Amino acid sequence: MNKSYLGIFKMEFKGELQYRNKAISGIFTQFFWGLLQIYLYVAFLNDTPVNGFSISQMATYIWLGQAFFAMRFITMPKRTGDNIVNGNVSYNFVRPLDLYNNWFCENLGQKIAATLLRFPLIIVIALFLPGNLKMYAPVNITALLLTILGIILGICLSVAISMFAVYLTFKTLSQKGSATIVATISGLLGGIVIPLPLMPQSLQNVINYLPFRFISDLPFRIYIGNIGITEGLIFLGIGIAWLIVLIIIGKLLIKSALKNTVIQGG
Amino acid sequence: MASIIDFTDICKTFKVPLRTKGKFSMFKNFFIRKYKTIEALKNITFKVNEGDIVGYIGPNGAGKSTTIKIMSGILTPTSGNCVINGYVPWKNRREFVKNIGVVFGQRSQLWWDVPIMDSFELLRDIYKIPKDEFDKTLKLLNDALNLETLLNRPLRQLSLGQKMKCELAGSLLHHPKILFLDEPTIGLDAITKLAVRDFIKFINKKWKTTIILTTHDMNDIEALTNKIILIGKGQILYQGSFEKIKENYASSKTITVEFAKDYDNIALDGYEITNHEKRFATLKNLPSKQFHPKEFINEISKNYEIIDFQVTSLSVDEILAKLYKQYEIIER
């Protein structure tokens, strides 16, 4: 990677590492939310598998979702949004950098740091929980490797999708609103609200091929063995294709937004 | 000398939504929006030579920042041509900006929560500055601005003056040919202001950097620039040396006179009485009247007994205020 973009990545990575309390409170929230969700589904489903999705698989799916919440949930770094809204983006313009790549690296740095800070502790605790709450080990070592690949792809996809929030911020000058819209759509279609295997089959036929499910649903289901290795590899290919498409669309959108940008005030 | 900035007939218009007043207007405006176009810049044409320090002045809202933004490649003008250092700023932005430095006095280019040095190192990577050159430049800036103690502290802990020094250093790390300073002395105390001025002069001399500076502080203009461009309501009203403007106004004097006793009425041919209170009066010579101290004493002593008097010329601020008034460019 180009040294300058690596520098931006590192800056945001280091910045995120400073916020230890944010990470700790994040871990607590994720942990209790995970417990709540599992109890809820256990109460409703009463040990019967839905769409071939057993209770133990579901618990594992939910714990993975909580452990990697920072990665799968669409956010925009505060700096990126702030700069666009208050006009500091002027300084982004006077650097010899591609602005899309600049923001992409900013967001990637923040996402990776936030994820690394949170996931180990949640997974370690979840692996030792009793009964229905327990998170299970991956079905086999190939599945684990494929899961790791899928999570790396997922982080990139998550960032590529968040670039649409950056675009919307240019249009609306509201960073919170923009991030919320993109995060809501992505959360619903990506399995954050309801695990995708619990959705009606007809809906799944569509959602399975939209980019959002490749962020986290795919690697998690490879991990629990709900998607086999061959099928998983094919899906990973589709995910990579989506990543390329999303980056191209994002770049075009940002370019058009920059053309019409007016920096207000002195 | 070759011109490094060549601005020809630059115009910039903005479309802004019109807001109507009255009941339910907010509601109406939500559905039906009318726009009006504002001409921020009208046929701006000027040239700047290499190594010049140019002061770009005008009242608030005159179009100074808009011009700077066009010059630095942030905004695209509606029409007109502009070649800076061989580039059209908004066309080859990424190539063009390698040779410019920009400081917006009211914004920050450094990273908020990391030590200044980390920001500088990131800028080094962004501009791909070779290590030895970076160290040399940093040492030079360090000596000139006394940054030593600041480099290890995060930006958020610095005072406004310290911040501005770091911003200036940050904009010069890549040794730009042209430096744009948008109100660099805004909000600074007297000592820091002087330090910043000295530094700007120093860099201009040392590196032959062309500097474009907008400011409301007339002392900046007097101390630094060898050319000014006066802009108002989006048009250039004057360009040339500041000395010339001063000469035009050099003849108007303000005379404060102390009398030996109270006079009811004071009148003097060729002078306007602007203030009179007991034994003190302030007089101004009319444009037709040339002020000579000896003649003045003779004339005023004929009718009045005076103890003391004091003559002051117009301050640079007053000159500028007069200029703005003359061109009717004050916003109302």
CB-CB under 8 Å, B118 with A263: no
Q: In the prediction, which pLDDT does B221 show? A: 87
Mean pLDDT of chain B: 87
**Residue A7 is nearest to which of B60, B125, B183, comparing CB atoms?**
B125
Of B104, B127, B128, which has the smallest distance from its Cβ to A90's Cβ? B104
pLDDT band at A253 (very low <50, low <70, confident <90, very high): very high
Counting residues of chain B whose pLDDT is more than 90, the rounded percentage is 36
**Is the distance from CB of A196 to CB of A213 less than 8 angstroms?**
yes
pLDDT at B234: 86
Show the 3-state SS of A211-242. HHHHCCHHHHHHHCCCCCHHHHHHHHHHHHHH
Q: Is A90's CB within 8 Å of B128's CB?
A: no
Which pLDDT does position A122 carry in this prediction? 94
Residue B21: the pLDDT is 73
Output the CA torsion B71→A7→B143→B194 (10° steps): 40
Label each residue of chain B as H, E or C. Answer: CCEEEEEEEEEEEEEEEECCCCCCHHHHHHHCCEEEEEEEEEEEEEEEECCCEEEEECCCCCCHHHHHHHHCCCCCCCEEEEEECCECCCCCHHHHHHHEEEEECCCCCCCCCCEHHHHHHHHHHHCCCCHHHHHHHHHHHHHHHCCCCCCCCEHHHCCHHHHHHHHHHHHHCCCCCEEEEECCCCCCCHHHHHHHHHHHHHHHHHHCCEEEEECCCHHHHHHHCCEEEEEECCEEEEEECHHHHHHHHHCCEEEEEEECCCCCCCCCCCEEEEEEECCEEEEEECCCCCCCHHHHHHHHHHHCCEEEEEEEECCHHHHHHHHHHHCCCCCC
Give the Å distances, CA to CA, from B253 to A26, A239, B165, B285.
Answer: 70, 79, 38, 6
Residues B41-69 have pLDDT tens digits of 999 999 999 999 999 988 887 888 889 98
Segment B213-234 shows an average pLDDT of 88
**Residue A4 contacts B, CB cutoff 8 Å:** yes
Does any CB of chain A come closer than 8 Å to the CB of residue B121?
A: yes
Which of B69, B122, B127 lies nearest to residue A263, judging by beta carbons? Answer: B69
B167 touches chain A (CB under 8 A): no
Give the residue-averaged pLDDT of A53-70: 92
- Chain A hits for B74, CB-CB cut-off 8 Å, are 90, 93-94, 263
Over residues A123-182, the pLDDT tens digits come to 999 999 998 899 999 999 999 999 999 999 999 999 999 999 999 998 888 999 999 999
The nearest alpha carbon in chain B to A96 belongs to B94
Chain B residue with the nearest C-alpha to that of A87 = B107
Question: Is B72 within 8 Å of A93 when comparing Cβ atoms?
Answer: yes
Q: Which residues of A touch B122 (CB under 8 A)?
A: 7-8, 10-11
Question: Which chain A residue shows the shortest CA-CA distance from B93?
Answer: A96
Q: Write down the residue that tokens 């030590």 correspond to.
A: B115
Contact B114 A15 (CB under 8 A): yes
Mean pLDDT value across residues A5-22: 86
**A1 in reach of chain B (CB within 8 A):** no
Per-residue model confidence as pLDDT tens digits over A89-135: 889 889 999 999 999 999 999 999 999 999 999 999 999 999 889 99
Taking each helix axis as running N to C, give the angle between helix A78-86 and helix A99-127, from 0 to 180 degrees, rounded to the nearest 10.
Answer: 150
Is A99 at the interface with chain B, CB within 8 A? no
pLDDT in tens, B308-322: 888 888 777 788 787
The pLDDT-based confidence of B108 (bands split at 50, 70, 90) is confident
**Residue A266 confidence class, pLDDT cut points 50, 70, 90:** very low
Q: Residues A226-236: what's their mean pLDDT?
A: 94
B126: confidence class by pLDDT, cuts 50, 70, 90: very high
Confidence at residue B329, expressed as pLDDT on a 0 to 100 scale? 60
Mean pLDDT of B175-194: 91
* Per-residue pLDDT at B99: 93
Q: Check pLDDT > 80 for residue A47.
A: no
Give residue B332's pLDDT: 45
pLDDT above 90: residue B288: no
Given A6, A11, A263, which is nearest B74 (Cβ)? A263
Query: Rounded distance, CA B288 to CA B233, Å?
Result: 30
Q: Predicted confidence band at A212 (pLDDT cuts at 50, 70, 90)? A: very high
- Residue A10's DSSP bridge partners are none
Asked if the Cβ–Cβ distance from B94 to A90 is below 8 Å, we say no
Q: Is B227 exposed, middle or buried (0-12, 13-18, 19+ CB in 10 A)?
A: middle
Look at A40 and B32; give whichever has higher pLDDT: A40
Cβ pair B126:A90 closer than 8 A? no
Tell me the pLDDT of chain A averaged across its residues.
90
B182 touches chain A (CB under 8 A): yes
Q: What is the pLDDT of residue A264?
A: 57
